Every structure is written in C-alpha cells, then in structure tokens.
Chains A and B, each alone.
Chain A
Amino acid sequence: MQNSTIKTQLIKLAPFVFFIFVWKTAAVVVSSEIILPSPEKTLASLSALLQTKGFWSSVIATITRGLAGFLLSLGMGLLVGLVAGLNKTANILLQPFIILCRSTPLMSIILIALIWFKTEHVPIFVSFLISFPIICGNVIEGVKNVDSKLVEMAFIHKVKKIRVFFEVYLPSLVPYLLAGISNAMGIGWKVVIAAEVLSQPRFGIGTRLQFERINLETAAVFAWTIVALVISFGFENLIRFAEKKVLSWR
C-alpha cells in the first residue's frame, strides 16, 4: 500500500521531470536567454519578481478581476439559465445571444470593450462575456435533466414550490453548475490576462507580461506565466475540493 502510493506519486512527477529536462536541453541548444531562458534563469527571475513592490498588487488585481467577471457570470448565468431552462420561449429568445457570445472572436470583444470601458474594467467585461454562455448553457442543460418523476413525487406529497426548487431542482443542477464553473474558470484566467495585455490597467499580470516582453526580459515573461499557472491550478483545486464536499452524496 505504502509502496504503491509512493509509486503513484513518482509516476505523477515523471511528466514534470521530463518537461523540465526537455526545456533545459532546448535552452542549451538554443543558447539564447532572450529566445528561450533556461529553467533556472526563469526560477531566479521568479524569485526576483517576488521581491518587487508591485508583485502582489498585480497578482491581487488580476485575481480580483477574474473573480469579479466570474461571479458576474455565475449570478447572471444561474438566473438566466434557470429562466431559460424552465421556459421554452425564454430559451428560444436567449439562443441568438449565446451564439453571438460564443462565436465573436475574443480579440474583437477585447477591442470593442477597450472603446467602451475604463481600462481597469475591460478584463472583467471580457471574462463575463466569455464565461456567461458556458455557465448559462450548463444550467439550462441541468434544468432539462431534472428528473420530472421526482418533481411529480414532490407534487403528490404537496411539498411547497419554493422547497421543490431548493431541494429538488437545485441539487440536481449542482453537478452541471460545477462543471460549468470549472470550465468558465479555466478559460476565465486566460481571458482576463489577455485583456490586461491589451488594455494595460495600472496593475495586472497581463500588464506586467507585456512590459517584460517589450523589455526583452523573456525570463520574466516565463516567470509571470508560471504565476498565472499557479493561480489557475489553485482555483481548479479549490473547485475540485468544493465538488467533493457538495457532491458527497454521489
């Protein structure tokens, strides 16, 4: 048992070791820190970044924007998704808007948002437009998959409508909602940082990425990328944890 856990851990570690090995080899072959900085150079750059004054402000600004966009899409997605899931007409009316959100190129959305909004708010708006259709779509799917026989069972036992909503509809929705949240978050961080690169708010990981690129500090670009990855992984794990807690009945 003990052995097999250690073995599993080692197997999980193997891709990282391999990846760093390839990275290092490539860096040696290319032998140009501007084109491909070595892993240790990137690490050194990362630890230098951690010391700088603006580091945490940038990280916190990006996380705040990401969460703001996400919470907006969660609230709206849940509300609109429920209405559209329960009402056919609402669903038909909503579809063109969802398709519009899904098909418009990301860059068009960012550029249009730049014209309309303050630089600080552009990433929030963009991440909302990207995440909303994902969450909304999942909620609609979830509502459609609520077991009508359970609703009938509640109806026969004269359970109050509000309780049917909270105790039958909502729990059946949760797995769909969590899948939507996981997708929306995964894509959300990418979108927020992309929008920051173009909109250049005062603080933000995207702002710093662009700044380092202009200064040809490739190692710092890599270091900021690692920071973005850590944020994304962190939230992904948080969702997995929540999923385990909430879906313990499964």
Chain B
Amino acid sequence: MALRLEKITKKYGELSIFENFSLEIPEQKITCILGPSGCGKTTLLSIIGRIIQPDHGRLIGFENKTFSYLFQDLRLLDWKTVYGNLDFVLKDIYPREERAKKINYHLKMVDLLKFKDYYPKSLSGGMKQRLAIARAFAYPSDVLLMDEPFKALDLPLKMSLINDFVQLWLNDLRTVIFVTHDIEEALLATDQIYLFSKPPVRIIKALSLNIPRNARTSQEKCFVALKQELYHTIMLGEEEVGIAADYSSQLPRSRPRAV
C-alpha cells in the first residue's frame, strides 16, 4: 500500500507553499523530490515527519510509521565518539548487546568500524557523512527522510556516498523520501522522481525509473537522455503534470532489476 498526502495546504503568512497538494509515495522505494531552492521540499519533509502541521489536508498511511532523518547539516554530537553517536539514538530502544550488534554492523557497512572510538573532529567530511548515513539506517524506522544530504560535496565523494547509501538500503528496504535539487543525484539513487514547481507547488513531472541500479552510471545512454530531458523540463518550465514515463525500454541491454 502506498503512502499518500491528500489535499495538503500550508501557508507561511502570505506565502502559500502548498494548495490542495496531493502526492503518492510508494512504500519500500526511494522517492525523489526534485525541485528548485525554496520550492517547499524541506517543508514537505517536515510535514511528513510531523515536525510541523499542515493547515489543511491529511496524511494517509503514515499513522503508525516511525521516521529517521538524514540531515543536510549532519547534526552529529561532537562530544560523542563515532560509536557514541549511534548509541545516542538507539539507547532508549534496545538493550546493550543488541545495540552493540546493530552499531557494529552499520559502522562496518559504511567502513567506519575502525574509527568507532574517534570523535567527529578527527573525521574527514566524507566520513562524517557516512556516519550520519549509518545513524539514519541504524535507527529503526519505516520511513527515511533525506534533506539534500549530498549537497556541496565533490562528485567522486558524492558517488561513493550514494553507493554506500544504496547498499545499506538494498539490505534494509525502507520507504525513502529523498529531497534534492541535483538531477544527477536523483537519477543515480531513486525509483520515482517528482519534479516540483515553485510555490504553490505543483508536480511538473513524475518519472518512474526502472533502470537497474548497476546500470546507472553517468555515461549510460538512457541516463544521459533522462538527464537532458529533466534539465530541459526544468529550464522550459514544462507542465506535464502526472505523466509518468517508463524508460526501461530504452535500456541497451535488458537486465533484471537489481532490487
């Protein structure tokens, strides 16, 4: 069953971010919200994560869901070690041994096990990102909300982090809602892309990506084509509301989905 936002309205003073806005989010898939800065992407995550309330409208299917976040600014505790940062969010949930097992597993997945006694100050930027990713996955949740987690990173680091993220996700399928303004990120990681307009938000374009994950490299033909198309849509401000395109047929070789 899919999660739904139904007829959501949210205003900040005079500025109307959402007006009767509806959106469907497939469960256990990675859904990407792509859009320009200030288009209400973060507001959407806050509404879903119940940090703020919408003025009108309702969320369907989210009632008993638990959430974890991957923040753009990471929000690590500088006075806790790598291990301690994961322990902090798990302490009220699991007994000690189970915590240790979970933490060690997730640190291993992001290659940080050797550094578990380090404080964040002695980690590189990429390591801190991986720690934040590990925390998001170590915390038991149904829905993972990600707010531009790979912003302002250089391309190789971004690729390697997206890869880490996808690997963790493949081992632990969750409903992921991934907000970004970066087309490349959206195409590399996600199953479903919604292209948002400026507020009041409309969905300009909806795409389902059935490309196997291992075929998603920047050089792949269909990938390049998609990228260009999204780019043009954004530039021209085209309005193809609700038109979902299945681009799997454009794949040069047909392979089974990696998921």
Chain A positions near chain B (C-beta within 8 angstroms): 149-150, 152-154, 156-160, 163, 167-168, 171, 174, 248-250
**Whole-angstrom distance from the CB of B55 to the nearest CB of chain A?**
21
How far, in whole Å, are A163 and B89 apart by their CA atoms in the complex? 10
Main secondary structure, interface of B, reads loop
Please tell me if B14 contacts chain A, counting CB pairs below 8 Å. no
**Cβ–Cβ < 8 Å partners of A156 in chain B:** 49, 51, 67-69
> Would you mind naming 30 contact pairs between A and B with Cβ atoms under 8 Å apart?
A149-B75, A150-B75, A150-B77, A152-B51, A153-B75, A154-B89, A156-B49, A156-B51, A156-B67, A156-B69, A157-B88, A157-B89, A157-B139, A158-B92, A159-B88, A159-B92, A160-B92, A163-B92, A167-B77, A167-B80, A167-B88, A168-B77, A171-B79, A248-B119, A249-B78, A249-B80, A249-B119, A249-B120, A249-B121, A250-B121
The 9 closest A-B CB pairs, nearest first, are A157-B89, A171-B79, A153-B75, A249-B119, A249-B79, A160-B92, A149-B75, A156-B69, A150-B75
Please determine whether B92 and A171 come into contact, CB atoms closer than 8 angstroms: no
How far, in whole Å, are A56 and B77 apart by their CA atoms in the complex? 46
Chain B residues numbered 17-73 whose CB sits less than 8 Å from any CB in chain A: 49, 51, 67-69, 71, 73
How far, in whole Å, are A115 and B59 apart by their CA atoms in the complex? 69
**Whole-angstrom distance from the CB of B135 to the nearest CB of chain A?**
9
Counting contact residues on chain B (CB < 8 A from A), the size range is 20 to 34
**Cβ–Cβ < 8 Å partners of B121 in chain A:** 249-250
Which residue of chain B lies nearest to A174 when distances are taken between CB atoms in the complex?
B79
**Cβ–Cβ < 8 Å partners of A157 in chain B:** 68, 88-89, 139
**Whole-angstrom distance from the CB of A102 to the nearest CB of chain B?**
31
**Cβ–Cβ < 8 Å partners of B91 in chain A:** 159, 163
Please determine whether A153 and B119 come into contact, CB atoms closer than 8 angstroms: no
**Whole-angstrom distance from the CB of A174 to the nearest CB of chain B?**
8
Task: Give the interface centre of A150, A153, A157 by most chain B CB atoms within 10 Å.
Answer: A157
How far, in whole Å, are A174 and B77 apart by their CA atoms in the complex? 14
Which residue of chain A lies nearest to B120 when distances are taken between CB atoms in the complex?
A249
**Cβ–Cβ < 8 Å partners of B68 in chain A:** 156-157
